[in-house]
Amino acid sequence: MKPAHFLGLGNLPLGTRAKVSGVAGGHGVVRRLEAMGIRPGVIVEKISGQPFGGPVVVQVGRARVAVGFGMAQKVMVEPMIAEEPA
């Protein structure tokens, strides 16, 4: 298995599922995202991303949550891609 790589939620490719590994932000942001279901360990799937740094929509559980791009970039995720054989 390849070593895990992390990226901001904003850079997650469309339609990809990923595991949230952490939120690199202040207490307030962490709490607000947590309340919407986005917290470490949770699986999210990117539903859409608007161009020019517009918001990102992810599915969390059965809910869809729109997150501004800047805030989305603070959410570090680990994509769950089917690894290609080396």
Report the C-alpha gap between 58 and 61 in whole angstroms.
10
List the one residue out of 66, 57, 52, 43 whose CA is nearest residue 14: 57
Judged by beta carbon, residue 2 or residue 42, the one nearer another protein is: 42
Q: Which residues bind another protein (CB under 8 A)?
A: 28, 31-37, 39, 47-55, 57, 60-71
**CB of 30: closest distance to another protein in angstroms?**
10
Between 57 and 76, CB nearer to another protein: 57
Q: At closest approach, how far in Å is the CB of 80 from another protein? A: 17
Residues linked to residue 7 through DSSP beta bridges, in sequence order: 77
Residues 48 and 28: beta-carbon distance below 8 Å:
no
